[in-house]
Amino acid sequence: MKKGDANENGLEKLTSPTFYASNVSMFNQRLGKGDDAMMISTAGSFGNHSHVNGISIELFANKYALGLDMGKGSSYWHTDHREYYSRFPAHNTVVVDGGVSDYNAMRGYHPFKLDNNYPEVSTTPAFDKLTFSKVSFFEPKTKADQQRFTALIKSNSKKGYILDVFRSKKQEGGTERHDYFYHNLGQSLQILDANSKALSLKSTTDFGSKQGDIKAYDYLTEKKKVETSKDVQALFRLKTSDAPDNLMKIWIKGSVDQSIYTALAPKSNVLKRGSGTAPAEVIGDSIQTLIVKRNASAWANPFTMVFNPYFEGEENPVNAVSYSTIKDYPNTQVINVLMNDKSAEDHIILNASESDIVKNNALYQKGLLSVTRQSEQSDKLEFLFLSGMYKFENNGWDIVAAGEPFTLSIEKTDQGFKFQTDKAITINMPFVKGDKPAELRLYENGKLVGSRKGTTNRNRDDQLVFKIEKGYENAEIIFDKN
């Protein structure tokens, strides 16, 4: 790098949205800049000084690591480290059967497997609306399969939200219990109904070594509970003297056999006064903790959360979140996120693997993930993102892999669409009969290397066909408006 580049732009050249350290089983993804920056760090249980945490996350938004790690105990030799800080309930993870899944800390041998991610590590693509990762994990004590999908998604403004879908099941089935833990900075935690009205929770003695859980559960205090199968919201509030309240709202998918808990957990030892890791108002405080308990498998019907960080009185990117399923395809998660200005909505369809299929009316998806952003007023496409995809068909689009599953982004422009693909594909796109065919333009290293007109689909005269013979980082489909 030239000396003159040693500035913010120079730093950007040295960084990328994703980072993977397989030697310690850690994957990081980030999106946005400055006050709008978000980040998720996903960790397994592998390497020196590792904890017993399964697949855990730390979540950064609103200037702080709001979804924080607890750090180590008073020391590695102290009881609180052995019993709590190095154990599952001290992390943002899912615990199987009350922690009977516990295993040795300090030198872990249980990494996750990185199945899918976007963008590729050490690359910075032109499409910057989202990042994601999907990792899988085998929990050795309970013989449980776990999978965690996390994504950062930017709204039409600079603000964004976070999606977390955690699948967990015991291979042998039978009676099983799965506890979703999330810890967040703040002085209060409320559980709200669909109308944002506070629910009444009752004190409970659930959880603890007397109930057969590991001792880490004994460190939880002020436990309260509500049983509901409906969608609810959790609202964490972090108050400071010099700024608006820092809020984290979590839109929680409802389920049968599900209970919602609030609790206080021991202080986080990673927070130090004067370090900037947290406001002074909460240094040394107990940590507000959300627990979602499922007395059943959480695989076909996983824990599904939308994390919605914002400041009170300032822009909140999310107006509403709804969850649904498609009959005959229980593994498929359908998440709809309406932007706060009500001008656009994200339709997210997530399968458990690249080979999963879902069909519903005009929709067909064989592949992992589709994210469609449409204008609420006109139903016009703003962008389409597909990853781990063999075939996607919806809203007049039909996109097919030439062989291997592909990742594709398509964005609306004034002249048509721009797109990126990492594999050879065929694009069948909506077309009004009688209009002039659009032109495909392909670029490499910023230079035009090919162009051609689309052809009408011989089976459907309302579609144009473009065959893309390889991956391109920059391509356009331009419509002649004359």
Q: What is the pLDDT of residues 433-473, one digit of tens each?
A: 767 789 999 999 999 999 999 998 888 888 999 999 999 99
Same domain, 200 and 289: yes
pLDDT in tens, 239-292: 999 999 999 999 999 999 999 999 999 999 999 888 888 999 999 999 999 999
Rounded mean pLDDT of 211-219? Answer: 96
pLDDT in tens, 87-96: 999 999 999 9
Same domain, 295 and 326: no
- How much is the pLDDT for 1? 43
Same domain, 185 and 246: yes
* Strand positions, DSSP E, 340-468: 344-350, 357-360, 363-375, 381-394, 397-401, 406-412, 416-421, 425-430, 439-444, 447-453, 455-456, 463-468
Same domain, 259 and 346: no
Strands 318-326 and 329-339: antiparallel
Same domain, 298 and 199: yes
- How much is the pLDDT for 106? 60
pLDDT in tens, 314-341: 999 999 999 999 989 989 999 999 999 8
- How much is the pLDDT for 476? 97
What range does the domain containing 374 cover? Answer: 322-478
- How much is the pLDDT for 74? 74
> Residue 108 pLDDT > 80, yes or no?
no
Picking from 294, 313, 332, the residue at the C-terminal end of a domain is 313
> Residue 394 pLDDT > 90, yes or no?
yes
* Average pLDDT in the chain: 93
CA distance 67 to 81: 20
User: How many folded domains does the chain comprise?
Assistant: 2
> Residue 141 pLDDT > 50, yes or no?
yes
CA atoms in the 13 A half-sphere facing the CB of 453: 6
CATH number at residue 452: 2.60.220
How does residue 68 score in pLDDT terms, banded at 50, 70 and 90? Answer: very high
pLDDT in tens, 31-61: 999 989 999 999 998 866 678 899 999 999 9
How does residue 112 score in pLDDT terms, banded at 50, 70 and 90? Answer: very high
How does residue 181 score in pLDDT terms, banded at 50, 70 and 90? Answer: very high
- How much is the pLDDT for 102? 63
% pLDDT > 70, the chain: 94
Picking from 313, 345, 362, the residue at the C-terminal end of a domain is 313
3-state helix, strand, coil in the chain (%, to 5): 10, 55, 40
Same domain, 243 and 291: yes
Picking from 313, 348, 379, the residue at the C-terminal end of a domain is 313
Which of residues 154 and 74 earns the better pLDDT score?
A: 154
Query: Please, which residues have CB within 8 angstroms of residue 380's CB and are 6 or more apart in sequence?
Result: 374, 412
Same domain, 253 and 350: no
Same domain, 337 and 462: yes
* Residue 370 token pair: 């589709």
Give the DSSP letter of residue 198: B
Same domain, 221 and 173: yes
CA distance 12 to 16: 7
- How much is the pLDDT for 197? 96
- How much is the pLDDT for 103? 65
> Residue 139 pLDDT > 60, yes or no?
yes
Same domain, 261 and 353: no
CATH number at residue 222: 2.70.98.70
Same domain, 421 and 282: no
Query: Please, which residues have CB within 8 angstroms of residue 459's CB and are 6 or more apart in sequence?
Result: none
Same domain, 293 and 370: no
How does residue 158 score in pLDDT terms, banded at 50, 70 and 90? Answer: confident
Contact assessment for residue 438 and residue 479, using Cβ atoms and an 8 Å cutoff: yes
Rounded mean pLDDT of 196-208? Answer: 97
